Amino acid sequence: MQVKKYLVKCLHRLQKGPGYTYKELLVWYCDNTNTHGPKRIICEGPKKKAMWFVLTLLFASIVFWQWGVFIRTYLSWEVSVSLSVGFKTMDFPAVTICNASPFQYSKVKHLLKDLDQLMEAVLERIVAPELPRANATRALNFTLWNHTPLVLIDERNPHHPVVLDLFADNHNVSASGSPAPGRACNAQQCKVAMRLCCLNGTVCTFRNFTSATQAVTEWYILQATNIFSQVPTQELVKMGYSGEQLILACLFGAEPCSYRNFTALFHPDYGNCYIFNWGTAERALPSSNPGVEFGLKLILDLGQEDYVPFLTSTAGARLLLHEQRSYPFVKEEGIYAMSGTETSIGVLVDKLERKGKPYSQCTVNGSDVPIHNLYSDYNTTYSIQVAAALPPGPGPSGRPA
């Protein structure tokens, strides 16, 4: 009986459908919906109404919050990383070798004659300033010296540092600051600094050094760089070590090779550098087996007796393993191989591949990054170092993929 009554009631209700006022509509919705909350809010007593209202609001907010989280997660284009460890056939890296000394001294001696004489005199004065100078009047060419001299700064009175010229007693310094004779002070009491003046000589700054050795070395390198920069590159290439001279023997796996398999490149700091397997002309050589027997073996002749004195403090070969067609930043990333020893280098490759758009701002190979490649003469690929300043205007800031 009960069941029948209930069914009739249900039928009535369904037939009736929604009313025409909002309240009726709401009541009809609440009665017919199969979510629990709204129905109870309408139909229960005031206490339960309040309770159901709060509960419904709470859980509805949780649902919307979760939707928000999901949508946000989707739109951030998150990626998953797959990692595989193993050995497989891969490209043998490009190998750049340079001699630590950029030039052969016998071929650049005439360019550095004045500078070397000055350097000897400077060392004499800094190391042993008290000794009587037998050769004080030795004919030194002060053209270079007057351009960027080393000075001693006497700081015994911190409020009035006195600038002293190293050679004040045998030539006249034509610069501001009226340097006093350098006799009163040696490198232990005074600070060595390099004076850098603007062209008209009115504004000068001092590059201060904490150690005299560092000051003298840096001064020499600056002056030598200045001298070499006035010589055309073709001449400089001839003054460096030739490939034939540097690479005595070469073996790749079981295959013999020679200096002809290397690409020559002139590096401003290391002179002639030679790159094996750069991949510019033909495909990169594969490396399918690990181990010394399957790699590149070289015997180098560094010609150490002909190093430019003062210019390098190291004897050895500068080495860099890098990717095909990338410019070798030998000075920044290379390592030294000592002379007179055998050096063996093993390589473990971590290859990282980043997804491009829309996952991140990474580029596939940099060809679409709007930069000027400073090393485009060498057909090198994009890397952060080869990039000149971005042209004005917004552009994607690319990273190598």
Ligand X SMILES: *[C@@H]1O[C@H](CO)[C@@H](O)[C@H](O)[C@H]1NC(C)=O
Name which position in 200, 210, 229, 341 contacts ligand X (CB under 6 A): 200
Strand order in the sheet with 255-257: 255-257, 247-252, 296-300
What tokens were used for 265? 């490149």
CB of 196 to ligand X, least distance (A): 10
- Choose between 128 and 203: whose C-beta lies nearer to ligand X: 203
The amino acid present at 326, given as its one-letter code, is S
Residue 261 interacts with ligand X (CB under 6 A): yes or no: yes
Element (H, E) at 8: helix 2-16
Strand order in the sheet with 335-338: 262-267, 271-276, 94-99, 316-322, 335-338
Q: What is the spatial distance between Cα 118 and Cα 135, in angstroms, rounded to a whole number?
A: 12
Q: In the window 271-330, what residues touch ligand X (CB under 6 A)?
A: 280, 285
- Alpha helix segments (H runs only) across 198-273: 212-228, 233-239, 243-246
Name which position in 54, 71, 128, 203 contacts ligand X (CB under 6 A): 203
Q: What is the spatial distance between Cα 128 and Cα 107, in angstroms, rounded to a whole number?
A: 31
- Choose between 193 and 317: whose C-beta lies nearer to ligand X: 193
Q: In the window 20-49, what residues touch ligand X (CB under 6 A)?
A: none
Provide the CB-side half-sphere exposure for 212 (13 A, CA). 19
Q: What is the spatial distance between Cα 195 and Cα 175, in angstroms, rounded to a whole number?
A: 10
- Choose between 169 and 333: whose C-beta lies nearer to ligand X: 169
> Which residues have a Cβ under 8 Å from the Cβ of 360 and sit 6 or more positions away?
77, 354
Q: In the window 96-125, what residues touch ligand X (CB under 6 A)?
A: 114
Instruction: Count the site residues for ligand X by CB under 6 A.
Output: 32
Residue 153 interacts with ligand X (CB under 6 A): yes or no: yes
CB of 39 to ligand X, least distance (A): 58
Stretch that binds ligand X, among 105-113, 153-161, 214-222, 329-337 (CB under 6 A): 153-161
Q: Measure the N-to-C terminal CA separation of the chain; round to a whole number of Å.
A: 77
Residue 255 interacts with ligand X (CB under 6 A): yes or no: yes
- Choose between 100 and 275: whose C-beta lies nearer to ligand X: 275
Provide the CB-side half-sphere exposure for 290 (13 A, CA). 8
Q: How far is CA 229 from its chain centroid?
A: 25
Closest among 263, 234, 269 to 380, alpha carbons compared: 263
CB of 194 to ligand X, least distance (A): 10
**Is 324 in contact with 284 (CB distance < 8 Å)?**
yes
CB of 329 to ligand X, least distance (A): 18
Residue 172 interacts with ligand X (CB under 6 A): yes or no: yes
CB of 216 to ligand X, least distance (A): 17
> Which residues have a Cβ under 8 Å from the Cβ of 148 and sit 6 or more positions away?
194, 195, 196, 197, 219, 222, 223
Residue 187 interacts with ligand X (CB under 6 A): yes or no: no
CB of 400 to ligand X, least distance (A): 11
CB of 120 to ligand X, least distance (A): 8
CB of 157 to ligand X, least distance (A): 11
Stretch that binds ligand X, among 104-112, 176-184, 195-203, 298-306 (CB under 6 A): 195-203
CA distances from 206 to 14, 34, 194, 196, 261 (A): 96, 84, 6, 6, 47
Residue 208 interacts with ligand X (CB under 6 A): yes or no: yes
- Choose between 175 and 315: whose C-beta lies nearer to ligand X: 175
What tokens were used for 149? 């001299």
Q: In the window 331-370, what residues touch ligand X (CB under 6 A)?
A: 364-365, 367
Q: What is the spatial distance between Cα 146 and Cα 157, in angstroms, rounded to a whole number?
A: 27
CB of 94 to ligand X, least distance (A): 12
Residue 155 interacts with ligand X (CB under 6 A): yes or no: yes
- Choose between 80 and 174: whose C-beta lies nearer to ligand X: 174
- Choose between 76 and 288: whose C-beta lies nearer to ligand X: 288
Residue 373 interacts with ligand X (CB under 6 A): yes or no: no
Per-residue contact flags (x/-) with ligand X for residues 235 to 254, judged by CB under 6 A: -----------------x--
**Is 263 in contact with 275 (CB distance < 8 Å)?**
yes
Residues that bind ligand X (CB under 6 A): 114, 134-135, 138, 141, 143-144, 153, 155, 161, 170-172, 193, 198, 200, 202-203, 206, 208, 252, 255, 257, 260-261, 280, 285, 364-365, 367, 378-379
